[in-house]
Structure formats: C-alpha cells, structure tokens
Amino acid sequence: MKECRPSPERREFLWTAASLLGLGLCLPAVLNILQGCSSETKQPSETGETVELDISTVPELQRVGGAVKRTFGNHNGGRPVLIIRLSGTEFIVLSTVCTHQGAEVNLPRDGVITCPQHGAEFDPASGAVRKGPATQPLRRFPSQYDSARNVLRITF
Ligand code: FES
C-alpha cells in the first residue's frame, strides 16, 4: 500500500487552519479529514531493457483477443504485465498495476480490464481509463512483433 503524507507546508497550513477554526481536533484527525492526497500509484522506472517472448509457447496468445499475465524478473517492479493479442500481428503490453492504488488488474473479460480493488475499468486495446476511480491509463510498454520468428520483443 502506498504511503501518503502531506508536505510539511501543508501540514502546517492544516494545523493553523484547524487552530483558527477552533476545531479542537488533534492534527492526525484533521489530516485524515482534509488531506485529500493523490491516489495515483507510482510506477517503476524504465530500464530500456528488452526481453523476448516466443509466442508459440503461449497457448492463450494463439488467437486474436487472447491475453495472458507474465512476470519478467524485476521488470515492472516484479509485477506481471498483461500481454494481449490485438490482431494477427499486433500485441499490446500493459502493466497489471492499477494506477489508482496499485492493485493487480484482472485479465480482460468482455472487452474490459477490471481492477478488483475498487472497480476501475480500462480499455484492453490501449490501457485507457474507461471508469474511475483511476484517472491515469495503465502503463504501456513498447513491444514489437517479429512475425518471421513469432517472437514479441518487449521493452521495459
Ligand atoms: S486500486 Fe483502486 S481501482 Fe484499482
């Protein structure tokens, strides 16, 4: 779970505001009520490293619309990515880390990727948000399909 702390300036402002209003509440209670911190999840940094996936070894990816979750070592912070076949020669690779609070999103079902934690929905063809509370798209990793070798190259 992400830690969410207001800046010292904001804490001081909230404390002053609470004092001026005579709320008589302790600082943590005021902060809990008023902090309204961003709920966006920090994403792992890019490494620029490329991995190859032999598509012939992944039964789920033999048909258009097929999808699978795969983990590639510590890439994507050690969390799985979602690999979806969009057409005969197109794939998309998305992080499974929900941009709301970091839960692992589900495989696409009925044309939508859902987060089980708070119900955010994402477009499997782009990772775009379809329904909140998430406001940012799923992170997309660049990928290139080599049809001659039936290999997908994913850059992290
Ligand atoms: S973690 Fe809240 S909707 Fe995904």
- How does pLDDT run across 100-130, given as a tens digit for each residue? 999 999 999 999 999 999 999 999 999 999 9
Q: Report whether residue 134 contacts ligand 1, using a CB cutoff of 6 Å.
A: yes
The per-residue pLDDT for 46 is: 74
Cα(30)–Cα(120) distance, integer angstroms: 28
Model pLDDT, residue 51 = 94
Delineate the domains of the chain, giving CATH numbers in brackets. Answer: 1-37 (no CATH), 50-155 (2.102.10.10)
Whole-number Cα distances in Å, 21 to 14, 17, 33, 60, 126: 10, 6, 14, 60, 47
What pLDDT score does 98 carry? 98
What pLDDT sits at residue 48? 84
Query: Closest Cα partner for 129 from 109, 141, 115?
Result: 115
| Predicted pLDDT at 56 | 97
Pure H helices in 3-144? 8-20, 27-34
The residues, ordered by sequence, that sit 6+ positions from 121 with a Cβ below 8 Å of its Cβ are 112, 113, 114, 115, 129, 130, 131
133 lines ligand 1 (CB under 6 A): yes
Its pTM stands at 0.74
pLDDT at 94: 98
Give, for ligand 1, the residue of 41, 43, 98, 135 to mutate: max count of ligand atoms closer than 8 Å to Cβ.
98
Can you tell me the distance from the alpha carbon of 152 to that of 145, in angstroms, rounded to the nearest whole number?
4
| pLDDT at residue 9, rounded to an integer | 53
Could you give the CA distance from residue 76 to residue 82 in angstroms, rounded to a whole number?
Answer: 11
User: Cα(37) to centroid of ligand 1, in Å?
Assistant: 15
Name residues of the chain where pLDDT drops below 70.
Answer: 1-45
